[in-house]
Structure 1
């Protein structure tokens, strides 16, 4: 009874949040709304979408989609020479000094001592300077490879969930065409490296919990790989604890208690040990002064910005100046931040606070391109004619992103609402989405943070798009998705 109630509450929450995102996109993206309206008309007129008519061989189309994913990402990198800007520019620029043996930025109150979670990304970029004095293009090529690998891994994840290669193939196609996952390859952002490792961890987790063999060591290997993938992903983009909590809650509600106490510790140990070893080696060798998880600027400063009502939870100068105001003293910064946060939450009218929460949520989850346009196009305009074309065609580009995103949200809502007999593993992704959405509501708002988990909508949409045969996609039936 408790499990059933938990499932219902979780499903209602996810449907509500997806609906909020959907409405937010409808309001702000008119061109995308027009294209989406055409899609809805086709769905309700024909009750199926006559796409994928060429899917006659899983093997052949698998290779074709993966190759198309690679080519699209490579072409974007070639025609849009994005410059590293903001934090990305700092990481890329400082990596050159690290390659020359200058580690001062990791010490004192250097930027990467204050934000130690960026350390591994800087070290990763510094490796490319061993091959070239200007390795930006090499880094972008690596992004393309990582992103293409992510497309493959999503295929494997969906196949593991549904035990259906055709549904996995549809999901793979959706991710191959997903604009943010194409556009962000030209920017030096941590998510490009972290995403495939989080997907890898997810795949091995699903493989472990669905493993029915009597070979205990086989399951242990899967759990270890789950933890190792999580460790690498976390070192590049430190949101691994959200995945760990999702693993914990999934074991708690959907697996036996014995599995929780035996299997989850294997994942946790496999995740923590590599991080602790690497962090200790960096500190003992003098490269860093602080542990990777212990930035000198308290995490409360991010929550401080995230609760700024007037700035809608985004970066703002008033909150950003707090560390300097208290001379980078972490204790004083923490105390001051907590007090300001408390005052904001307790003294703001409840209705205004609710409005702030909705606006902040939509600024993260109702942005169809996850801000990929503003992080990749403007800085490239002066360098190449194609970049100028895309800059002038902003309406078309964002319109395409909007229509695609609306379709993903629409199919996600449809799949979750109609498909009551969905695989139990989908509940893991419901937990993961809710946990990550709550996390983003606490910290400084940026749409690109939501990009880290945006592939989850494709998994949800897979429940609303199941392949009927090799010529059409059945999108709904009277009560549930037909298989």
Structure 2
């Protein structure tokens, strides 16, 4: 039976409405792109409807208590099997920055760290983290690409498990199972396993930090915030998003503690918030500094791993209306004519201020960037198959499946927002014991990440960084739809048998 449950605060309602607009916008603009640009509207809609129906009908099977001990095992085996199979049959070769980092990793495996003095690593110091990681794998298993790609598959399989546990912590076991399944079969995630990108490791650690933060046993204590801080620090060693997650987590911590005070009506809200916030920041800062100074002490580099050597670049490119906020050769060639440091910073700053001068153009650009980043077709097919000889039919089929999956996930995400807004969601397997303040975290990550990329450079593959959080919410929305369908079906059967139907209250 559906229950009408205590609702969120005003801030919670604002987040939910923003989330609903976000997910509904993805559905509409993604379908629009399939209709006008990709010319695959009918197959996308057909696959999406079939997938939606299968997931809703499969709710009862996933909701069975007997699945509890065995589901994680089957989930992990299936997730790794799909990724390992793709890696085995797809001889993707590293290109662009990926090629440069792999070549540097081979040198690092032989004990040669001279590459750290290259302009590339001076400009983007954080790339040393992933390069050294690859160097460690090469040292252990040789220069073959296969071990590195299988390591990607392992990282992504662990992320599948984290999505399952994180969603189960927030919304119940069945929601977690559905979210884990959705992430395990998400096509771009599988295709990218053959690409040597730092996103596999960074996504794993950032998702691990968020999963630790919302775990029931860690929410009320200090252990969860410290675990989250350590994971975020490790993630920032591979991708410079640590500061973003720190800011989002501190906002989440304040909202979570406020909701806890509202529910319990006791305890010192400010004292708890101060202690947890201080512990989190201290743990993150110490871990980050330890990683940075370890590399300096070992002689690999003289720069801190998280040092921002070109603070205006991402914003300057992100506000280029001609390139729709994407990397472009014109900007790159222009700034490279100036030496790295104050002179280049001043040039980039002047260009940035010039592009900020027209508010209307900036507003129009942000809309274009949002549609491109969040509703455009994924580019994992390009990165995975761009260096592989294959039939163009493969691209069309894979793109159609990706579009259908993405629309379905966004649709279930919008259902999740509506279920929480209307406070009508099932108590069986959907974690509906009341408004769950832990839900603030994935919503904050998604919305803040989207807002940030309204200002900085975008690439479609960057949205893979936050797909664990989008799919966690989609898993809950799917569970709500499945519960509602099962309840209505049982009510209809009961009515035919002469039994009164259950009533929503």
Q: TM-score, normalised by structure 1?
A: 0.87
Please, which of 72, 92, 108 is the counterpart of residue 98 of structure 1?
108
Question: Could you tell me how far apart the structure 2 residues matched to 1:23 and 1:472 are?
Answer: 24
**Structure 1 unmatched runs, 5+:** 213-218, 382-387, 477-481
Please, which of 134, 154, 166 is the counterpart of residue 157 of structure 1?
166
Q: Does the aligned pair in 2 maintain the 1:466–1:473 contact within 8 Å?
A: no
How far residue 229 of structure 1 moved from its aligned partner, in angstroms, is 1.2
Please, which of 30, 35, 47 is the counterpart of residue 25 of structure 1?
30
| 2:368 pairs with 1:359 | yes
- What is the match of residue 384 of structure 1? none
Compared CA separation, residues 468 and 333, structure 1 to 2 (3 A): closer
- What is the match of residue 136 of structure 1? 145
How far residue 158 of structure 1 moved from its aligned partner, in angstroms, is 0.7
Compared CA separation, residues 127 and 8, structure 1 to 2 (3 A): same
User: Aligned-residue CA RMSD in angstroms?
Assistant: 2.8
Compared CA separation, residues 368 and 316, structure 1 to 2 (3 A): closer
Question: Could you tell me how far apart the structure 2 residues matched to 1:18 and 1:93 are?
Answer: 40
- What is the match of residue 221 of structure 1? 223
Question: Could you tell me how far apart the structure 2 residues matched to 1:455 and 1:448 are?
Answer: 14
- What is the match of residue 238 of structure 1? 240
Q: What does 1:404-419 correspond to in 2, within 5 Å?
A: 404-419=405-420
Q: Does the aligned pair in 1 maintain the 2:208–2:231 contact within 8 Å?
A: yes
Q: Does the aligned pair in 2 maintain the 1:306–1:313 contact within 8 Å?
A: yes
Equivalent residue pairs, number: 455
Q: Does the aligned pair in 2 maintain the 1:251–1:257 contact within 8 Å?
A: no
Q: Deviations over 1:341-400 (max 9, x none)?
A: 111121x361x333221111122111343x11111111122xxxxxx14x4321211111
Compared CA separation, residues 442 and 48, structure 1 to 2 (3 A): closer
Please, which of 324, 327, 340 is the counterpart of residue 351 of structure 2?
340
| 2:14 pairs with 1:9 | yes
| 2:56 pairs with 1:49 | yes
- What is the match of residue 216 of structure 1? none
- What is the match of residue 479 of structure 1? none
User: What secondary structure is seen at the aligned counterpart in 2 of 1:428?
Assistant: helix
Q: Deviations over 1:65-93 (max 9, x none)?
A: 22111110111101111111111111111
Question: Could you tell me how far apart the structure 2 residues matched to 1:26 and 1:315 are?
Answer: 26
Q: Does the aligned pair in 2 maintain the 1:468–1:474 contact within 8 Å?
A: no
Compared CA separation, residues 319 and 210, structure 1 to 2 (3 A): same
Q: TM-score, normalised by structure 2?
A: 0.83
| 2:319 pairs with 1:302 | no
- What is the match of residue 194 of structure 2? 186
- What is the match of residue 200 of structure 1? 208
How far residue 431 of structure 1 moved from its aligned partner, in angstroms, is 1.4
